[in-house]
Structure 1
């Protein structure tokens, strides 16, 4: 990036670090979305990992919550679903409680056995055999999108590449009407947005209901047709999901849209940004494109597309030497665990040939480990292979605009330029 941008960014980060290390820990609210929009949350988690890895925030816009910031403590929560629940009835999987009037359970916001039955319905989409069938489609579309990019002029990588490619894949997975595929992006952003007023929240809910109505029409088409290999058809013809009520139906649809959108979309953008921030790694990649295989999981660790997942304590427990009370909101900060120096060597450095690149928390762990891991990695691998065939350098020419969210860690825009 340009020197002036670097200097402004460094001053910005220094000010954030000074504040994070000077205010009392009892005033910490690491879930404040503004910290993520301004990219100033890093020193807060660094201090928590060193001084108070299990931290209780007494009050925030999301109410009181407990932060879990170190890798092994997060793993303890992930692997103990008997104590730490994902169920929507207790609040769900994000720091923002599921609204009691709009609670939409999905299989990620359920505990066994219901969770397992609904998850198994969509799992065949992500088997090696089916991914082999998708490989040529992903490669062809990546080539088409990349070949249409302008040369010697600034454009938004997020819109032209990251959103377009992930939306095309979502449309394929759902067998969604192709010309209306950008609705999927809109609904994904809507589902994870934080409206500023109660009126805006009501509008958001109304638009999500419209999403449910649209998918209900597609669902009825699949229900009355022979089974096919798209996600909607799989759900319509499975005993575990055929008779979902409208809330559970929409909950699962939103889960699949967001899950299929945010990880890949923001990792595609984050990878370009990381390579610009670490130009030595970019040179390493140009010299040896075979490093894409290890670079892809490193991008996913580095980006951490979903900053956290939340659980609710079903009983009193001890975690990292701290007491957790029944009913506590327990927030596992993946974005912090992925920078835990006690587990990951040089975690603040982007290293494309890292020895153990898949040692990260970005996909979760345990029973809720992301069902689409292989597809996400496959998409990123193919897109970067096609990028390296075409472009010597993708230059970031300005600061990205980041999403106002402490759940989705992503980008609204990323200005880039490709030399002709």
Structure 2
């Protein structure tokens, strides 16, 4: 998906297909979202197979859909790939569960991932990122997007309790879940890719738990901590642990790589922004927020209306599926002036909703922010310039906005 929109063009909203993978893999959805925010803030689409959904694109409406579980439930599925078939793990899988149970499972895990808690990981993360960037030091082409897929596993693997030998396999499986139509990850049909990846990830967590129980090994890892969570006073079943572990693996791996590559591309295309950040490292936290807004790697989330709901000048009927488009909300001109300009000094960049909003706000946001801050500190300190070394290739997915390839060539920064 192009992050810098092309020239303005007329959009026929009656003919828009928001599930057209070409719109994201090789196209440009931003003019479509711009037109929807202006003319159809509540948009209805019926797919050729009869499935239907409503879309909200304004920041205010996206926050309402994601923030009010009494109006919009997560317990039938939260991603568009489930449209038309209720999630079999609804009410069990943490991401497909409403409060109070969602809160009871989430709270003890969240205590391990507060900004204060993850601060102790900074030195370790910095070392990891220096090792990650080391192959680019010789100035040869370096495929940032391809290599960045492994970066979250390098950072979070120890925190989760996942051994290094398993990182690459788990990264591949999580990419299959979130982009099952992309040729880099597809195995057979989209349905087969989803089924295989889901089964393998859940099985991995089950076997991890069984091994820990058999050996009696204990550690401070997040997956081990999940084994002690007791929502409602009762421990999670092995099936619940496996499903929530699957959810944690997905959250840990799928968005940060695309925020990294998309933000670096924005800096390459705007050398004045690169120079500004390099001259003033104090801007880097805001660079991270603008990068999150700009890339909106989790492009959307889905909910279902509990009853008839009036929103965006129209009505979503009870049990209707509604897709909240994060990528559009983060370019809403009513909140972000000149939204298609990448500006690391943007005053309100932190109001972006790239991590979601409400009860399901990303539990790993503090760790992601820390990782991104350290990444750009190291990048800007190490390299004096970065340029493209080939054509970017965009992910073929309407759920995750990102790239599969971003070849770059970087020159080491000269120190006085």
Same fold (TM over 0.5): yes
Kindly state the Cα deviation for residue 103 of structure 1 after the two structures are TM-superposed: 2.4
The correspondence for 1:156, drawn from 143, 154, 163, is: 143
Give yes or no for contact 2:62–2:324 (8 Å, CA) kept in 1. yes
Give yes or no for contact 2:135–2:142 (8 Å, CA) kept in 1. no
Please name the residue that 2:208 is paired with.
218
Q: 1:214 to 1:78 in 2, by over 3 A?
A: closer
TM-score for both structures, normalised by structure 1: 0.89
Q: Which deviates the most, 132-141 or 396-405?
A: 396-405
Distance 2:66 2:87 in 1: 26
Please name the residue that 1:310 is paired with.
302
Q: Which string of whole-angstrom CA distances, capped at 9 and with x for unpartnered residues, describes residues 28-84 of structure 1? A: 122322211114111111111111111101225792111101011112222221011
Distance 1:81 1:242 in 2: 24
The correspondence for 1:108, drawn from 87, 92, 95, is: 95
Kindly state the Cα deviation for residue 380 of structure 1 after the two structures are TM-superposed: 0.4
Q: Which string of whole-angstrom CA distances, capped at 9 and with x for unpartnered residues, describes residues 214-236 of structure 1? A: 22121123345365321111011
Give yes or no for contact 1:262–1:410 (8 Å, CA) kept in 2. no
Q: 1:104 to 1:98 in 2, by over 3 A?
A: farther
Residue 95 (structure 1) aligned with residue 80 (structure 2)? yes
Give yes or no for contact 2:24–2:397 (8 Å, CA) kept in 1. yes
Residue 397 (structure 1) aligned with residue 383 (structure 2)? no
Distance 1:99 1:186 in 2: 26
Please name the residue that 2:22 is paired with.
34
Please name the residue that 2:372 is paired with.
380
Distance 1:258 1:211 in 2: 9
Q: 1:204 to 1:67 in 2, by over 3 A?
A: closer
Q: Which string of whole-angstrom CA distances, capped at 9 and with x for unpartnered residues, describes residues 257-300 of structure 1? A: 22111221111111111112222211211221221021111100
Distance 1:329 1:121 in 2: 30
Q: 1:208 to 1:115 in 2, by over 3 A?
A: same
Give yes or no for contact 1:223–1:236 (8 Å, CA) kept in 2. no
Residues 84-233 of structure 1: matches in 2 within 5 Å? Answer: 84-87=72-75, 90=76, 92-97=77-82, 103-105=88-90, 106-160=93-147, 162-195=148-181, 201-202=191-192, 204-223=194-213, 225=216, 227-233=218-224
Kindly state the Cα deviation for residue 351 of structure 1 after the two structures are TM-superposed: 0.7
Q: 1:51 to 1:393 in 2, by over 3 A?
A: same
Give yes or no for contact 1:29–1:60 (8 Å, CA) kept in 2. no
Distance 2:406 2:48 in 1: 30
Please name the residue that 1:258 is paired with.
250
Please name the residue that 1:72 is paired with.
60
Residue 281 (structure 1) aligned with residue 269 (structure 2)? no
Residue 13 (structure 1) aligned with residue 3 (structure 2)? no
Kindly state the Cα deviation for residue 419 of structure 1 after the two structures are TM-superposed: 2.8
Distance 2:250 2:193 in 1: 19
Q: 1:101 to 1:312 in 2, by over 3 A?
A: closer
Name stretches of at least 5 consecutive residues in structure 2 with no aligned partner.
Answer: none
Secondary structure of 2:348's match?
coil
Q: Which string of whole-angstrom CA distances, capped at 9 and with x for unpartnered residues, describes residues 146-178 of structure 1? A: 123252322211233x22321212311221111
Distance 2:213 2:293 in 1: 39
* Matched residues, number: 402
TM-score for both structures, normalised by structure 2: 0.90
The correspondence for 1:243, drawn from 226, 231, 236, is: 236
Name stretches of at least 5 consecutive residues in structure 1 with no aligned partner.
Answer: 1-5
Secondary structure of 1:66's match?
strand
